[in-house]
Amino acid sequence: MTEALWFAFRGDRLLVLEGDEPRVPRASVPEELGLETSFTQPLGSLNGSPCWAAEVPEGVEAPEGAAFVDLRAIFAAVDEEFFAVAGRAKQVVGWHATHRFCGRCGGVTEPASGEMAMRCTRCGMMHYPRVSPAVIVRVRREDEILLARSPGFPKGMRSVLAGFVEPGESIEETIHREVREEVGLEVGNLGYFGSQPWPFPNSLMIGFTADYAGGEIRPDPDEIEDAAWYRADGLPQLPPKVSIARRMIEDFVNGAGI
């Protein structure tokens, strides 16, 4: 059997090999690693190697030479391709762990044949992985960019604004609402930037640019610790390079000729 890269999660923690650079173990089957697994799912490939997600029950210890670590703790040290596969594995494992029983009738679920879904053994309802759309928006005012700090950020870090799409809401409506609620500003001239799957916990980040259209910064104390305008030559600590937020900020810097 071909050796694969195993993205094994115990809860929210990924099994990585000890060393200077985060790496996941290779094996034909997880038993070769001395791991007990309760669920496995193929993920595609990374640099030509097949990849699998695996769910490891709580209480199972990491094999010698490896450790379970929070994905957030290493995502600044890995490249975008690795992070994308690890993020997908985290979401797939999390979906399986939270869909053991049917949300409609309470029946036990089982993996459906031929697709990524859990089927209720009692009523037959299909449960698919949940993806939550969220907008992330870069607001610009002439030669300045709006950056804000949320309470959960690492010390000193600022980023662009983001928020989840609510039921019945368009992406454009979400952008206007989130910017207004979080910092009290109005925006216009919306433009699509790009998207990125984001595994904290199961989001699809949809990036837009926007121009400042009015208002004074008034941070929502429940969401934002502070927010301010920054020039390209005076930016604070930024999000890791694997994030779409960082790409959006770097695009602003490049446009400013810095």
3-state secondary structure of 202: coil
Q: Which amino acid type is present at position 142?
A: E
- Cα distance between residue 56 and residue 174, in whole Å: 37
Structure tokens of 78? Answer: 């890995």
Tracing tokens 């662009």 back to the chain, one arrives at 160
What is the domain-level CATH number for residue 219?
3.90.79.10
Average model confidence (pLDDT) across the chain? 94
pLDDT tens for residues 159-208?
999 999 999 999 999 999 999 999 999 999 999 999 999 998 899 999 99
pLDDT for 257 equals 64
3-state secondary structure of 95: helix
Tracing tokens 């208002």 back to the chain, one arrives at 215
* Domain count for the chain: 3
Please give the sequence-ordered ranges of beta strands (E in DSSP) within the chain, or none if there are none: 4-10, 13-17, 26-27, 39-46, 49-55, 66-70, 109-111, 118-120, 126-127, 132-141, 144-149, 161-164, 186-198, 203-214, 226-231
pLDDT for 2 equals 82
Q: Are residues 87 and 105 in the same domain?
A: no
Q: Are residues 9 and 54 in the same domain?
A: yes
What is the domain-level CATH number for residue 55?
3.90.79.20
Q: Are residues 43 and 63 in the same domain?
A: yes
Q: Are residues 148 and 236 in the same domain?
A: yes
Q: Name the residue range of residue 197's domain.
A: 132-255
Q: Are residues 192 and 80 in the same domain?
A: no
Residue 1 confidence (pLDDT) above 90:
no
Q: What percent of the chain has pLDDT over 90?
A: 89
Q: Are residues 65 and 170 in the same domain?
A: no
